Amino acid sequence: MSLSRQRYRKWQERRTAAASRQWRGTDALRRGLVVGVGLVVAGVVLHELTAVLLGAPLLVSTALSLSVRLHGKPSVRVRPLPRTAETGQRARMLVDVDPGPGAELVAVRLPRPNKPGIGPVYVVPASEVTLATNLRWDAWGDQSDFRVDHLVAGPDALWTYGPVLGDEGRRAVLPPVLPMPGGPVPPRTAGLVGAHRSRRPGDGIELRDVRAYQPGDRLRRVDWRTTLRASAGAATDSLDTLFVRERHAEADADVVLAVDTRLDVGAELGDWSTGEDGTTVRQGGSLDRAALAATALAAGYLHQGDRVSLVDLGRPQFGLRSGAGRRHLMVFRHRLLACVRAAGWVSRPVLRAEQVPHGALVIVLSPFLDDAVVEQTLLAARRGSLVLGVDVLPRPLIPDPNDRWGGVVARMIAAEQANRLGALRARGVPVVPWVDGSEVVAVLRRAAAPGRRPVVLR
């Protein structure tokens, strides 16, 4: 488009916007005036009462409507709503309409009660100054839930103010926290403090053993009752041996959830190259499944008191440092939303060593559709971490019906992905498909069983 045409278009848009912000006569006004006056005048001049009787209603109703004085600038204001929402949450939306004196009708675009989308135009009397509807957010992600376009009309819609393009209501709907059906996720303890019992002795609460005193033991650890009982059987009155109570150490588990945000693909191959309107994430797609799985795992581990961090394989700057607690879960979900917002293809996924705390459990959530993510997963495993791959590719893949090679393409993609998953398994990285989380828990439970090499409880 040439520069002059762009300027003309902008000028025209500005002119249209300016014109919509003032009272304007409509076609109905012109019709009432031209036809009404024309018929009445012609009837009088030609002595045709029929013309006068047919034109009079239009002229009189137009005159009556015009007798109402319209002035002021109508406005529509939405009362504040929360900036973030939970999936499935509902909220009451109140809209204050100030149509100005003389207005009779207000046409305003509002969402249907409890239905997604910006909704239809409601034509309401101007006397109703506060309109209410219910918002409901069924899908998570950044989304636009209303845009209050409005138009105010005088009597018989002879004059209108607008249409005015309303402000858009955007909301960040957090990914839902799905419960893990397989029960609590097994921790992989590391460090010196935390919520889990470690195998090694330490300063925890749980009793590990009662043993003889050794140099270095604290005196407050001495178990006087056991010591006295043991010395009661001795021949002398002196305390030969002191006994101390040894306790288990407590440790926490570090979990790194690495989400592959570079791809968002659904089951239908024909839709892979197109986006989805209205939301930032494809419903039921790989990114949706990865985010839901990450949130469920994070909630499960944080519920146990473990430390969870987030790694965005596509954009490492969006990662979240390790943390624990309820607040961290909220931060995690917000950060995940930010990752999804900025999601897009990059050729090289990043999972650096400094992003993974020593001894952490690394869970890679990806559709595993390229070799680069497999390399990064294996690299993380080689660094000594326990790595679990979660395949979030929706299944079964549906071939593109408009492509004669659709079936072949689908089979090739599935075969290539199966090869990649096979390569991961062959190198000791378990990979499970994400269904509802139970399969992930089962694998982690097996890996956490005593005697299994990958999980080392210190």
Q: Which stretch binds another protein (CB under 8 A): 42-50, 236-244, 359-367, 437-445?
A: 42-50
Residue of 7, 10, 15, 31 interacting with another protein (CB under 8 A): 31
* 331 is an interface residue for another protein by CB under 8 A: no
* 159 is an interface residue for another protein by CB under 8 A: yes
Residue of 17, 34, 212, 456 interacting with another protein (CB under 8 A): 34
Q: Please, which of residues 188-207 interact with another protein by CB under 8 A?
A: 195
**Residue 2: strand, helix, or coil:** coil
In our burial notation (b when 16+ CB lie closer than 10 A, e otherwise), range 310-338 reads: bbbbbbeebbbebebeeebbeebbebbbb
Residue 186: is the preceding peptide bond cis (ω within 30°)? Answer: no
Residue of 99, 141, 160, 365 interacting with another protein (CB under 8 A): 160
Reduced 3-state DSSP string for 336-350: HHHHHHCCCCCCCCC
Tokens of 87: 């999936």
Q: Which stretch binds another protein (CB under 8 A): 21-29, 388-396, 398-406, 444-452?
A: 21-29
Q: Kindly write down the DSSP assignment for every residue of 35-64, as one continuous string.
A: HHHHHHHHHHHHT-HHHHHHHHHHHHHHHH
Query: Which one, of 230, 232, 210, 233, lies nearest residue 222 by Cα?
Result: 210
Identify the bridge partners of residue 201 per DSSP, sorted by sequence position.
248
Query: What would the x/- binding string for another protein be over residues 78 to 117, using CB under 8 A?
Result: -x--x---xxxxxxx-x---------xx-x--x-xx----
* 196 versus 262: smaller Cβ distance to another protein: 196
Q: What helix, strand, coil percent values describe the chain, rounded to 5?
A: 35, 25, 40
Q: How far apart, in whole angstroms, are the C-alpha atoms of residue 405 and residue 428?
A: 35
Residue of 74, 118, 133, 394 interacting with another protein (CB under 8 A): 133
* 379 is an interface residue for another protein by CB under 8 A: no
* 57 versus 284: smaller Cβ distance to another protein: 57
* 337 is an interface residue for another protein by CB under 8 A: no
Q: Are 126 and 105 in contact (CB under 8 A)?
A: yes
| Shortest distance (Å) from residue 16 CB to another protein | 15
* 65 versus 279: smaller Cβ distance to another protein: 65
Q: 71: exposed, middle or buried (C-beta count within 10 Å: 0-12, 13-18, 19+)?
A: exposed
* 99 versus 367: smaller Cβ distance to another protein: 99
Query: What would the x/- binding string for another protein be over residues 279 to 318, using CB under 8 A?
Result: --------------------x--xxxx-------------
Phi then psi dihedrals of residue 224, to 5 deg: -70, -35
| Shortest distance (Å) from residue 141 CB to another protein | 17
* 73 versus 411: smaller Cβ distance to another protein: 73
* 153 is an interface residue for another protein by CB under 8 A: yes
Q: Please, which of residues 49-78 interact with another protein by CB under 8 A?
A: 49-67, 70-71
Half-sphere exposure of 290 (CA within 13 A, CB side): 35
| Shortest distance (Å) from residue 307 CB to another protein | 13
Q: Which stretch binds another protein (CB under 8 A): 171-179, 245-253, 263-271, 414-422?
A: 171-179
* 33 versus 222: smaller Cβ distance to another protein: 33
Q: How many residues bind another protein (CB under 8 A)?
A: 94
Half-sphere exposure of 77 (CA within 13 A, CB side): 8
> Residue 302's Cα: distance from chain center in Å?
19
Query: Which one, of 306, 404, 412, lies nearest residue 361 by Cα?
Result: 306
Residue of 101, 117, 284, 325 interacting with another protein (CB under 8 A): 325
Q: Which stretch binds another protein (CB under 8 A): 119-127, 221-229, 242-250, 387-395?
A: 119-127
Tokens of 85: 């929402």
Q: What sign does the dihedral 399-348-368-293 (CA atoms) show?
A: negative
* 23 versus 368: smaller Cβ distance to another protein: 23
Q: Which stretch binds another protein (CB under 8 A): 170-178, 252-260, 266-274, 281-289?
A: 170-178
Residue of 19, 132, 165, 346 interacting with another protein (CB under 8 A): 132
* 117 versus 401: smaller Cβ distance to another protein: 117
> Residue 8's Cα: distance from chain center in Å?
40
